[in-house]
Structure 1
Amino acid sequence: MKKILLVCCFAVLGATSFAQSGPTDAPVSKEEKARQKARQEQDLNDAFKATGLTDSQVSSVREVLETASKASKELKANTALTEDQKVEAKKKISDDKNTRLKEIMGADTYRKWNEVRKEQKARASAE
């Protein structure tokens, strides 16, 4: 009787340990990455049109966004920093980006820009 009970316990433990290791997310294919990149570019262009930015403002905004993106990638790759330091540095990058965007666009246009981008993010997360 004890042996049967012991075998049942091991079977339950074995089953639960295998249940814990679920499938991992499959890597994103090149086609999917290309679709995501095209979607991001389209959303960015739509935001530019919705806010009515001039060509010079658009190029300045693209430059600011590119600079912030590069800084974030470098920060992510930096293994010397702790997670708290990375969070603090990411906040500084974001604050600098937002300040520069506000200078380029003006307060009203920047507010509209944020509204459009939030709508786009909500729509993208719903898909």
Structure 2
Amino acid sequence: KDMKTVSYKIVKASNGDAWVQGTDGKMYSPSQIGAFTLMKMKETAESYLNTPVKNAVVTVPAYFNDSQRQATKDAGQISGLNVLRVINEPTAAALAYGMDKTEDKIIAVYDLGGG
């Protein structure tokens, strides 16, 4: 149903993966699609920071398996990033919460999902 509302085609690659066929006819792997997003984020960060961004920690949904995590890491490398770690999104939320805290306390982090 959703495939009828997008301007590109989802096609089955020779290895069984779902690839995107762009409006230009080119085929893109899931890692390449992820890399486009990470490239844009890298460019935005570099523009804001006014310095090159080389290293990154990338977050993924907690339910991602090893091959999905590797594909995410591959996307980072394609985009020109040195992916230091791939961590779960709830872990990232907990780490970010504690970055500016100086006192000891116990917190709870809930991942309500997003789609």
Task: Give the alignment's TM-score, normalised by structure 2.
Answer: 0.26
Choose between structure 1 and 2: higher helix proportion: 1
Larger RCO of the pair (alpha carbons < 8 Å, separation 6+): 1
Choose between structure 1 and 2: higher strand proportion: 2
Task: Give the alignment's TM-score, normalised by structure 1.
Answer: 0.24
